[in-house]
Amino acid sequence: MALALFALVCLMLMLGFPVAFTLAGCALLFAGVATLFGAFDGAFLAALPNRLFGIMNNQTLLAVPLFVFMGVLLEKSRIAEDLLDAMAQLFGRLQGGLVISVILVGMLLAASTGIVGATVVTMGLMSLPGMLKRGYHPGFAAGAICATGTLGQIIPPSIALVLLGDVLSSAYQQAQLNLGVFSPKTVSVGDLFAGALIPGLMLVAMYIAYTLLMVKLKPEWLPKRAETEEDAPSFGRLMASLLPPIILIFLVLGSILMGLATPTEASAVGAGGALILALARRAMGWARLQDVLLTTVRVNCMVFLILIGAALFSLVFRGLGGEDLIHGVLADLPGGVVGATIVVMLVIFLLGFILDFIEITFVVVPLVAPVLLTMGLDPVWLGIMIAVNLQTSFLTPPFGFALFYLRGVAPPSLTSQALYWGVLPFIGIQLLLIVLMAIWPGIATFLPQLIYG
- Average pLDDT per run of 10 along the chain, which is 453 residues long? 83 78 87 82 77 76 80 73 71 76 82 69 76 83 88 82 85 79 72 90 93 87 61 66 78 78 82 84 82 85 81 82 74 80 87 75 83 86 91 78 76 81 91 94 90 75
444 within 8 A of 437, measured Cβ to Cβ = yes
Long-range (24+ apart) CB contacts under 8 A made by 257-265 are: 257/190, 257/193, 257/194, 257/451, 259/451, 262/59, 262/190, 263/60, 263/63, 263/157, 263/162, 263/165, 263/188, 263/189, 263/190, 263/193, 264/59, 264/60, 264/62, 264/63, 264/66
Domain hosting 259: range is: 2-6+17-452
105 lies in some domain: yes
113 lies in some domain: yes
12 lies in some domain: no
**Reported pTM:** 0.79
Domain total for the chain?
1
96 lies in some domain: yes
Specify the pLDDT at position 227: 47
- Alpha-carbon distance of 263 to 59, in angstroms, equals 10
- Angle 159-179/189-217 helices, nearest 10 degrees? 130
11 lies in some domain: no
CA torsion 49-321-180-55 (nearest 10°) is: -20
71 lies in some domain: yes
Specify the pLDDT at position 32: 86
Report how far apart the first and last C-alpha atoms of the chain are (Å, whole number): 43
